[in-house]
Amino acid sequence: MLSGIAKDFVGEVVEEARRQIHNFPLSEISLINVRVQLGTVFPDKYDWMCDAAMVGGALHLVGSHVIDLVSFLLKQTVLRVHGVVKSYTKSTPGMNGIKQISAPGFCNFQIELTNGTFTTTSIQSRTVPAETFSQEVVRPLVVICGSLGRLLVREGDLFLFKSKEETTQKEEAVYVDVQNLHFATSETLLPCLYIKGLCKMVGALKESFASKECNWIKEPVQYLHE
């Protein structure tokens, strides 16, 4: 089951991608490619985010949601996993003491699923300016490849490429998030996909605290005597 945070942050586009996978004959899904590029994942001062033993770093912060995403889309179990994690940043101007950063800022892992589907994920931090927060600079964010076509998730929208005999393939927009038309944002602030997911998560939190009307049951309680 897709985790709450991951589902809130991608919302309807993932639901639609799952419907397309099961309804449109993409045939067997052979490859899912996920790429995430973001700014530094470490704060100015040393805390648990800098410690690999405290599950800090890019793998735990982002990679876990990628695994949830693949599991939700395909509903398959994992056969084999291989990955590489690296911590290229050992210190910062605010952390120049005896403690060093051990949490990974880079990770690349591959997952083989039960039916042969192969998932490759690349998560890289510090690949965009420090003042920029971007979950995906190199588009597309997610590519789902089958023998008869492929799906692309790009900035919260879903596009379909159908494999044809012609050399030129045209993309078909199968889902466009209408929230894109309601507000605009700069990449130097927050990416649109992140803001939309944050709004959905806050909205769900608001609904959970909404007061519900309570009334007495009008019908009298009947006592059954055996």
Percentages (nearest 5) of helix, strand, coil residues in the chain: 30, 25, 45
Q: What is the pTM of this model?
A: 0.68
pLDDT of 196 higher than 60 = yes
Integer Cα distance of 83 and 150 in angstroms? 25
Q: How far apart are CA 48 and CA 41, in angstroms?
A: 11
Model confidence over 44-83: pLDDT tens digits?
A: 788 888 888 888 888 888 888 888 888 888 888 889 999 9
Which sequence spans correspond to the domains of the chain? 1-205
Tell me if 58 sits within 8 A of 145, measured CB to CB.
no
1-205 topology per CATH? Dihydrodipicolinate Reductase; domain 2 (3.30.360)
